[in-house]
Structure 1
Amino acid sequence: LSTRRGGSVSKEAYYVILGLRKDFKREILGVYNFPSETKSGMGTICDDLKKRGIKRVLLWVTDGVAGVGEEVQKRFSYTKIQLCIIHKIRNILEKVRKEDKAIILADFKQTFTLDNPNQTTVEEIQHTEPYVEKWSNKYPYQ
């Protein structure tokens, strides 16, 4: 985000850390600001969360900055690292032809719905298979 400090404006990294409680209510655990996105910044965030009593993290969703997963897993072992859905979509759309972007995006949104918290991992994988089959011939995984 553009941030004004003194007489100048520059882009800086802001992180909002959300936790999901056992009752599935979201809770803001912290808002952090760094001059840029770095793995050391993520390490600082994790250290702060540990100091404040967070003992275990099951899933960490990130935008794909190099080294972030390793920094998180150093402090919270066994944490699963997942790419943010928005960044996943951007990554996919960067690799496809212009004429396919709209339909791929529509298919993606239909396939990867997040509206059923009771859906199992197996059910979700089965739900994604038609999407993968439809597009994997034209755009094989590289």
Structure 2
Amino acid sequence: MSSGDFVPALEQFLGSSAGLSPATVTRLTKQWSDDHAAFQDRDLWESDYVYVWADGVHPKVRLGQARSCVLVLMGVRTDGRKELIALAEGPRESTESWADLLRDCRRRGMRDPELVVGDGAMGLWRALAEVFPQARHQRCWVHKTRNVVNALPKSAQPGAKKALQEIYNTEDRDHAQKAVKEFERTYGAKWPKAVRRSATRPMNSWRSTTSPPNTGCTSGRRTRSTFSTVKLRTRVTRGADSPAAALAIVFKLAESAQARWRAITAPHLVALVRNGATFRNGYSSSAPK
């Protein structure tokens, strides 16, 4: 998309009646940059995020570095509401870039979340171990499913995808383990590589005693669906005249999408998780500490 196409794309985002002249676009991106700067400097002491999703969003414009993307953190508060936490540019695979973002959040008052969900990028997990060592890690099931399915021939992919969905949609760990064994029995003989990539390794961290499945872990296991409302609209950054403008627009997209995020399932249980209640098969087995 050329610079001449940038204004129509923004009009689609803001509404066709926005009347965006080049001067208006310049003013808007400057205002959005200022809004983003204020957002990144706000106090987080009163914001308790129990669950956090972390992912990289790739705008349709080259940022400051050749392999940069926008690092995004979203969280679930103790009342079950989803909220944008932070957004900054950085190399997606870089431990230091994730650590810089996480350190800044801790500096502003963010405490260790109970669980962080992300893709397979090792930089994120190393940074979490350094900055928020109490947080448990969960690999995104959408990314995991994609990796497993890609190790299979196309003819076997639909059935394997459905079988993996049965694993992560089960109501408790026991049923999930049975579904894992069924997956291994069905696909292990012909495609051992896919089984090695399957759900057996994530089972150790999935739905442990302090993470009840019906508090929103069903959606929390998926970073891709969580970020889709932002990712699907980053095309409006094509034609942005600078990395700063692209970053400002992605921030405004995320802020706009936030208004339509639904609270997680059974939000009343999130505070119990934060307070130390233990759960088995989705039900509390001990009082909060």
Paired residue secondary structure (1:67): helix
1:43 CA drift (Å): 0.5
Partner of residue 21, structure 2: none
Matched with 1:119 is none
Does residue 21 (structure 1) correspond to residue 77 (structure 2)? The answer is yes
More helix by share: 2
Which letter does structure 1 place at the counterpart of 2:141? I
Report what 1:126 is aligned to: 174
Structure ID, larger Rg: 2
Distance 1:78 1:35 in 2: 24
Give the drift of 1:36: 4.2
Gaps in structure 1 of 5+ consecutive residues: 115-122
Aligned-partner residue type, residue 3 of structure 1: V
Q: Mark the runs of 5 or more structure 2 residues left unpaired by the alignment.
A: 1-57, 197-289
How many percent identity over aligned positions? Answer: 22
TM value normalised by structure 1: 0.78
Shift of 1:98: 2.5
Of 146, 149, 152, the match for 1:90: 146
- Aligned partner (choices 156, 159, 173) of residue 103 of structure 1: 159
Query: Structure 2 matches for 1:2-81, cutoff 5 A?
Result: 2-4=60-62, 12-81=68-137
Residue 168 of structure 2, aligned match among 96, 100, 112: 112
Query: Could you report, residue by residue, the CA deviation over 1:97-117 in whole angstroms, capped at 9, with x for unpaired residues?
Result: 332110111222243239xxx
Whose RCO is larger (CA < 8 A, sep 6+)? 2
Q: 1:36 to 1:76 in 2, by over 3 A?
A: closer
- 3-state secondary structure, aligned to 2:165: helix
Aligned residue pairs total: 132
Opposite residue 52 of structure 1, the aligned amino acid is R
| RMSD of equivalent CA atoms | 2.5
Distance in 2 between the 1:29 and 1:134 partners? 39
User: Residue by residue, what CA displacement relative to the aligned partner does 1:20-50 show, whole Å, maximum 9, x if unpaired?
Assistant: 1111111110112224431111101110110
Residue 82 of structure 1: CA displacement?
1.1
Name 2:184's counterpart in structure 1: 136
In structure 2, the CA distance between the partners of 1:36 and 1:75, relative to structure 1 (3 Å rule), is closer
Cα separation, partners in 2 of 1:79 and 1:132, compared to 1, 3 Å: same
Q: Secondary structure at the match of 1:108?
A: helix
What is the CA-CA distance between 1:5 and the residue it aligns to?
A: 5.6
Change in Cα spacing, 1:4 to 1:134, as seen in structure 2 (3 Å) is same
